[in-house]
Amino acid sequence: GDSVTQTEGLVTLTEGLPVMLNCTYQSTYSPFLFWYVQHLNEAPKLLLKSFTDNKRPEHQGFHATLHKSSSSFHLQKSSAQLSDSALYYCALSGNAGAKLTFGGGTRLTVRP
Amino acid sequence: GPKVLQIPSHQIIDMGQMVTLNCDPVSNHLYFYWYKQILGQQMEFLVNFYNGKVMEKSKLFKDQFSVERPDGSYFTLKIQPTALEDSAVYFCASSLGSETEVFFGKGTRLTVV
């Protein structure tokens, strides 16, 4: 079956430093990949999604590149902000929305 | 932006009792979902629902679980009877189509004692 792996459970870094959160996946088909962000006491919200190999979506300074050859969809940002502190979930789906398979999540804490 | 509301945010229930989790999806959405997240684990798909019917369910969706959305009101998840292992955060979600963005609620934390 499908699976998503996020190797870091916790990431702490200083404001202004680059962010990279890892996501790899296993699927028997060519899935759609997503990043969701959940701030404290808020609902998970879609951050960005990718449908095409090597296409790089961007949102709020975050970007991710889908590499089918390595089954990866790592989330990156050049300079972390305090407001980026949140829980980040990588997910995949067989189509653009329904039945998401989530990774375990990475809690990002950005310190001054 | 569009919001999915879940009521209540926390619920404590005695094992063996019935519980109904309520979800108010985005008003024009047609597809509805429940996900379950046990503490410290990942969010897992339970069921999706469209046009009054369950479209797909996972192995986590036990016989004690049921979903409905009578007359376009709340989308509900009922557990009867509850078991200790049902303790988790349950997230409701909705989408306009089967291939459009899915919007999540904040979740209901269910504690079965």
Domain-embedded: residue A104: no
User: Å from B17 to nearest chain A CA?
Assistant: 28
Domain that holds residue A38: 3-8+21-95
Asked if A99 and B45 touch (Cβ cutoff 8 Å), the reply is yes
Domain-embedded: residue A91: yes
Instruction: Indicate the class that CATH gives domain B5-112.
Output: mainly beta
**Number of domains into which chain A is organized:** 1
Domain-embedded: residue A101: no
B→A interface, C-beta within 8 Å: 1, 3-4, 31, 33, 35, 41-45, 48, 55-56, 91, 95, 97-107
Give the DSSP H/E element, type plus range, for residue B73: none
**Chunked in runs of 10, what are the mean pLDDT values of chain A (112 residues)?**
94 97 92 92 91 70 91 96 97 77 96 96
The domain spanning residue A88 has which CATH number? 2.60.40.10
Residue for token pair 């509301």:
B5
Say whether pLDDT at B103 is over 70. Answer: yes
Say whether pLDDT at B72 is over 80. Answer: no
